[in-house]
Amino acid sequence: MKKRIKNTLKFYRLGEKIHNDLFHKKGEELIQEEFAKKISRTEVINYLLSLKDFNTKYLEIGVRFPEQNFDKIKSKVKFGVDPGYENKDNPVDFQLTSNQFFEKLKKSEILEQSIKFDVIFIDGLHLAEQVERDINNSLEFIKHDGFIILHDCNPPSIFHTIEFHEYKLSPAKGFWNGTNKNPCFQYHHRPEDRPKGANACRNYGLKIIKGDFFLFLDDDDLLADFSLSNRIKTISLNSKEDIYIFKMMRFTNKVGDLNLIVNKEFKSKEEALIMFLKHQIPWPISSLFLNSDFKNLRFNENLIRFQDVAYGIQLLLNIKKTSELKISINEPDVFYRNTDNQKLFKEDFIKKILEASIAYFSYVDDMLKSNFSEFDYLKYKKYHFYFFLKFYETYFLPMNRKLYNLKKLKRVLIQRRYINKFDILKMLYVEMIYNSKFKNRKGLGLYRIFTKWKKRKYFL
């Protein structure tokens, strides 16, 4: 009897200990947080499929219970692969492990060897080596603009990432992410204390990267599947100090539907710098493939626009005299999705541009001042002033009545001795005419004023 009571007490004490254990409590909290997350895997997959034309092909590796995800996927053609470890009925197209499936596919023993999928969802055996194998195999069968989705790569706690699945008394309960944290791909989040936007994200990335080279890729960019190997091969044949610029091409719906290269031609570092200053941007940021020596250059987190232009200028001011800018002669390896430009002349958009111009103008002027002799600084001021004129003429002048901050920008220009009080008067005259019914009348001197500004060689 005493022994029974002792055992029962032991049993309850163990239960109590687990129940009150801080790791178990935190584990439970994290599990609930995961459940509360709004966007499900099914929604992500269906969203990506919806971006493609209706003839989509979908492959799911690891299906388990099809009604939980597979059946809800909207794709013209879909296939599931699962050896059936967790569901004895296993109603899938291929009752195989993913390795067996890809082996047979490569030999055309199942489906056609030439098949390419729009989306492949990898959710089979969650061990890092296996996931890596699944990724490599999937890369052979994914369309050039397709998506490979990896599930469970962001484990909420260390207890979710153990090697085996069977032990369920841990703070992760029965939930398991495996050791999916694939070394090739890592997901990082901008620290909470950094401002929102691409600049802080990129700076955070620059702080933690460990590789020999790096590149920037935005959500409207697409990297060709040969891009990384192409870039590594090209750059490794050259001096480490050179900067290699690859070509970017625009597309509307599908890569190749527009024959427009984003990059502009230039002959020297000097010309590239002048182009950036004049806002005739010689290369988009995703064209760059930089060696790790450049990872200490940071984006200006106060700029809400023009950050890539400022980065280009900074890069050119920081490369060694002996380094060269080399333009890849290969075909384009990065693509930019064209979006409609309707927002370009909307009031809010222009107000943001104006706000950004104020910060950008001072930032670039400071860079020019600190990098050049007085003589050269005066020379580059001319091109930097072009930037102002371009935006003034295109955006600010037509909307000047609504742009309270235009005064602020003019003040910066006066303080930094780009313009004088007479220029301010001329601007007021130009704006007055622009706001009147004489806007389109010739002979009022507007053209002459702008031409003189554009030709201005010497600054104060």
Which stretches of the chain bind ligand SAM, using CB under 6 A? 41, 60-64, 68-69, 81-87, 97-98, 123-125
- Residue 83 vs 332, nearer CB to ligand SAM: 83
Nearest approach, Cβ of 108 to ligand SAM (angstroms)? 20
User: Can you read off the two tokens belonging to residue 58?
Assistant: 């979908």
Nearest approach, Cβ of 80 to ligand SAM (angstroms)? 8
Nearest approach, Cβ of 132 to ligand SAM (angstroms)? 13
> Do the bridges between strand 221-223 and strand 334-337 make them parallel or antiparallel, or are there none, so unpaired?
antiparallel
Q: Give the separation between CA 201 and CA 307, rounded to whole angstroms.
A: 12
Nearest approach, Cβ of 60 to ligand SAM (angstroms)? 6
Check: CB of residue 181 under 8 Å from CB of residue 155. Answer: yes
Residues 6+ away with beta carbon under 8 Å from 304: 197, 352, 355, 356, 359
Q: Give the separation between CA 103 and CA 99, rounded to whole angstroms.
A: 6
Helix or strand run (H / E) with residue 248:
strand 248-251
Residues 6+ away with beta carbon under 8 Å from 176: 126, 152, 160, 162, 165
- Residue 133 vs 351, nearer CB to ligand SAM: 133
- Residue 87 vs 186, nearer CB to ligand SAM: 87
Nearest approach, Cβ of 37 to ligand SAM (angstroms)? 14
Nearest approach, Cβ of 123 to ligand SAM (angstroms)? 4
Residue number closest to ligand SAM, CB atom: 62
- Residue 12 vs 85, nearer CB to ligand SAM: 85
- Residue 100 vs 292, nearer CB to ligand SAM: 100
What single-letter amino acid sits at 406?
Answer: L
Nearest approach, Cβ of 67 to ligand SAM (angstroms)? 9
Nearest approach, Cβ of 158 to ligand SAM (angstroms)? 19
> What is the secondary structure of 267-293 as a DSSP string?
SSHHHHHHHHHTT--SS-GGGEEEEGG
- Residue 83 vs 155, nearer CB to ligand SAM: 83
- Residue 160 vs 381, nearer CB to ligand SAM: 160
Check: CB of residue 333 under 8 Å from CB of residue 226. Answer: yes
- Residue 90 vs 323, nearer CB to ligand SAM: 90
Check: CB of residue 115 under 8 Å from CB of residue 57. Answer: yes
Residue carrying the six token digits 């944290």 = 181
Nearest approach, Cβ of 27 to ligand SAM (angstroms)? 19
Check: CB of residue 304 under 8 Å from CB of residue 356. Answer: yes
**Region for 443 from its dihedrals, namely left if φ exceeds 0, alpha if ψ lies in -120 to 50, beta otherwise:** left
Query: Which is it for the CA torsion 215, 209, 34, 99, positive or negative?
Result: positive
Task: Report the Cα–Cα distance between both ends of the chain, in Å, rounded.
Answer: 101
